[in-house]
Structures are given as C-alpha cells and as structure tokens.
C-alpha cells in the first residue's frame, strides 16, 4: 500500500524537497499508482459523489444547454468533455440528446479527453450504447475544435502550490521527509510565476494565512483557448473569484482530501488512495483565457445555470419523491451541490444573439422563470 509513498520519499531524498504541486501530481496521476490512474474514485465505490452521481438530470440540463447554444449560434454540433471521469455524465448527456434532440444527436460528434487508461476502459463500458458517437484523444491532439468544450469538477484536481505568509514574508510550503515522516517546510518561492500571480490578482494575506495557487489551470486555459477555433468553453467546478477566494476567513487555504466519502486534511496519508483537491480561482481562468481570445459570457452559480437550463422541468416530471429530492440537491444553495459550485462560460469567434439566455443577469432569469411557472 505504501509503494507510491516510498517513491515520493525517494524523490525527496534525491532533491531535498519538492513542491506540494509536485507531490499532489504524483499522488493523483503517477502511472498505475496515482489515485486517478488505478481505480474508479466516483460514486459509492469511490471517495466522493459529484453532481453526476446525484441525478441524471444534471446531464439532461447540460444536454439542453448544449442544444440551445448550438441552435442560437453558428457553431458545429461537436462536444468535447475534458476529464470524463466514470463516463456517467457523457452517457446522461448523449442519452438525453438521443431521446429529446435526435437531429442534434445524429449530427453530433462527442470527444473525450482523458489520460487515465483505467478510466477510458471504464468509460467505454458505460458508453456502449453511444460508442459510435465518441472519439477518445489526448489534450495535445485537440486542435482547431469547433463546438462546445466543457469540464465538470476537473480543474479542482490540478496540482497547486501552497503559499504562506510568515510575519509578512511570503514563503512556499514544500514537502520534505524529516523525522521519518512527510511534512511541510517553508522556503523561498519555487518560481517567479508565483510572485507574478500574487501581484497580478492583488492577493493580500495576513500572518499565517495559506493560499493555494494553481499555475496549471492558468496554462491549461491558455492552451485550451489556442486549440479552440470557434465555440464555447464551459467550466463547472467549486471555487470563486480571487477576490472572494483569498480572504482571511480561509486562513488554512482550500486544499482538502477525500477518502471513502470522508473529508480530511491528512495530506500525507494514504498516498495514491485518496483524492486531493482545492478550490479553483475563476479570476485566473477569465484573465488568462482572455489572452487566448476567450471572451467571458457569464460567471454564475451552478444552481442558477441549471435553473436557466431547464432543471425546473426536470423536477416537475420527477416520478418519485426520492427522484425529486435528488434533483433538488443540485440547486439547493446550502447543504447541496449548489454550495460553492460555479459555472464559467467563455466563447471564441462566436456572436451571440441579443436575447441569448446565458447573457442574462440573475434578476432577469428569476423574472422570466416566475412568469413561466406562476
């Protein structure tokens, strides 16, 4: 069980210390031993539930959203999911489109970008009924894409650097092996990019405050923007803008672990057997995405996005009380999947109509919904 931990320790002993980003990358993605490389972490058999596990209505609403976006713009009927996990979400989306939007479905090509061989194997089993619609490829092979690219709870699993304020001095928390255990050690920043990030987003911290900086997401959104010829990028995840994310009320940062549906902060235990995740900075995705010509269309809470994408109809047609409660959990602001989850929609080389649904502010959405369901 400690094989990956031993590899981590050996790497530290060779170099003296590694960044938390390097450690997190190994714990999650090390070939055959990392958490996402050797088992299915989703659902009851894994470490955590996602919106996908709560109800197929999540995928239904995404299907409705994608059909609407394609119908209102001049993009192709192509969908690309980056990091498809168990494959359940892709199955829900495609099943909805096949039943409710057959013309869109028949002309649709669904691309999955996934680097875990284990998860690809699992996805192909789940997606057997739609296998002729799907192509699996690597991120580097995705070029000149025309359509909708989306991810759900992907960016939160990108490795982060941990930064701490020690009496006004900004230090990075490295991982060392000392006294027969893995532990944090503060030292000078490992990269000038970290200082640039902190300055760019005007992040001010108080003494002993920890922040988590995701440099990978900045590079990822720039590369993704360069690969998109025309279309939309939709990022669904938990996090917030830098202004709200890096505040003293998050004194310990946002990195956390999940093991068998239990949250913990035992970062250096069960290496390769538990998930490690952190809130994402949507300000970074907006700012660095703009450098790749990605224009922000909207940034709203997941529950509001789902309201705007037909979830009330899903609740209305629920066949049992249990189904209804499961769907409602997707939009409950407290104690449900509505908490902390946000949706960022960006576009490139696309003109949206004046009455485009996702251009509307929250008050306008509520006004229209009240008229529809009153």
Residue 344 scores a pLDDT above 60: yes
pLDDT at 314: 72
Task: Categorize the per-residue pLDDT at 50 as very low, low, confident or very high, splitting at 50, 70 and 90.
Answer: low
| Res 44: pLDDT | 46
Question: pLDDT tier at 49 (50, 70, 90 boundaries)?
Answer: very low
Q: Which pLDDT belongs to residue 57?
A: 84
pLDDT over threshold 60, residue 43? no
One-letter-per-residue 3-state SS of the chain = CCHHHHHHHHHHHHHCCEEHHHHHHHHHHCCCCCHHHHCCCECCCCCECCHHHHCCHHHHHHHHHHHHHHHHCCCCCEEEEECCCCCHHHHHHHHHHHHHCHHHHHCCEEEEECCCHHHHHHHHHHCHHHHHHEEEECHHHCCCEEEEEEEECCHHHCCCEEEEEECCEEEEEEEEEECCEEEEEEECCCCHHHHHHHHHCCCCCCCCCEEEECHHHHHHHHHHHHHEEEEEEEEEEEEECHHHHCCHHHCCCCCEEEECCEEECCCCCCCCCCEEECCEEHHHHHHHHHCCCCEEEEEEEHHHHHHCCCHHHHHHCCCCHHHHHHHHCCCCCCCCCCCCEEEEEEEECCCCCCCCHHHCCHHHHHHHHHHHHC
Assign domain 36-159+213-373 one CATH number from 3.40.50.12710, 1.10.510.10, 1.10.10.10, 3.30.540.10: 3.40.50.12710
- Res 37 pLDDT > 50: yes
| Statement: residue 364 has pLDDT above 80 | no
Percentage above 70 pLDDT, the chain: 87
Residue 316: per-residue pLDDT: 74
Alpha carbons 86 and 73: distance in angstroms, whole number: 30
Domain ranges of the chain: 36-159+213-373
Binned at pLDDT 50, 70 and 90, residue 226 comes out as very high
| Banded pLDDT at 135 (limits 50, 70, 90) | very high
pLDDT in tens, 155-212: 999 999 999 999 999 999 999 999 999 999 999 999 999 999 999 999 999 999 999 9
Higher pLDDT, 33 or 316: 33
pTM (2 d.p.): 0.90
Per-residue confidence (pLDDT) for residue 219, from 0 to 100: 96
Output the pLDDT for position 46: 46
Question: Is residue 143 pLDDT above 90, yes or no?
Answer: yes
- The whole-number pLDDT of residue 368 equals 63
Band of pLDDT at residue 260, cut at 50, 70 and 90: confident
Looking at every residue in the chain, the average pLDDT score rounds to 89
Per-residue pLDDT, 303: 86
Confidence check: pLDDT of 283 > 70: yes
Banded pLDDT at 48 (limits 50, 70, 90): very low
* 354 or 67, greater pLDDT: 67
Does the structure show a pLDDT above 80 at 374? Answer: no
């Amino acid at each position: 069980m400690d094989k990956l931990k031993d590899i981590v320790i050996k790497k530290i002993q060779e170099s003296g210390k590694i960044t938390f980003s390097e450690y997190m990358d190994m714990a999650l993605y090390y070939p055959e031993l990392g958490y996402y490389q050797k088992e299915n972490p989703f659902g009851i058999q894994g470490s955590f539930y996602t919106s996908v596990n709560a109800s197929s209505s999540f995928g239904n609403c995404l299907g409705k959203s994608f059909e609407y976006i394609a119908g209102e713009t001049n993009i192709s009927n192509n969908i690309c999911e980056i990091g498809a996990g168990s494959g359940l979400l892709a199955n829900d989306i495609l099943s909805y489109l096949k039943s409710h939007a057959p013309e869109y479905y028949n002309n649709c090509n669904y691309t999955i970008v996934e680097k875990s061989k284990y998860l690809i194997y699992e996805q192909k089993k789940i997606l057997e009924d739609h296998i002729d619609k799907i192509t699996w490829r690597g991120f580097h092979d995705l070029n000149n894409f025309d359509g909708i690219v989306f991810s759900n709870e992907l960016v939160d699993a990108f490795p982060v650097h941990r930064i701490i304020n020690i009496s006004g001095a900004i230090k990075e928390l490295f991982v060392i092996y000392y006294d027969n255990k893995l532990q944090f050690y503060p030292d000078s920043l490992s990269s000038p990019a970290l200082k640039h990030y902190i300055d760019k987003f005007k992040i001010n911290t108080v003494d002993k405050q920890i922040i988590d900086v995701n440099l990978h997401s900045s590079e990822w959104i720039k590369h993704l923007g360069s690969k998109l010829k025309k279309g939309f990028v939709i990022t669904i995840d938990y996090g917030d803008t830098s202004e709200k994310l890096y505040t003293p009320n998050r004194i310990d940062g946002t990195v956390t672990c999940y093991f068998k549906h239990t949250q913990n902060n035992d970062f250096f235990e069960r290496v390769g057997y538990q998930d490690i995740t952190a809130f994402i900075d949507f300000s970074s995705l907006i700012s660095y995405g703009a450098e790749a010509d990605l224009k922000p269309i909207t940034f709203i809470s997941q529950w509001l996005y789902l309201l705007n994408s037909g979830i009330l109809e899903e609740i209305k047609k629920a066949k049992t009380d249990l189904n209804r409660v499961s769907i409602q959990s997707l939009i409950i602001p407290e104690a449900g999947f509505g908490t902390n989850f946000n949706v960022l929609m960006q576009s490139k080389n696309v003109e949206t109509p004046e009455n485009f649904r996702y251009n509307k502010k929250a008050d306008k959405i509520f006004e229209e919904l009240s008229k529809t369901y009153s």
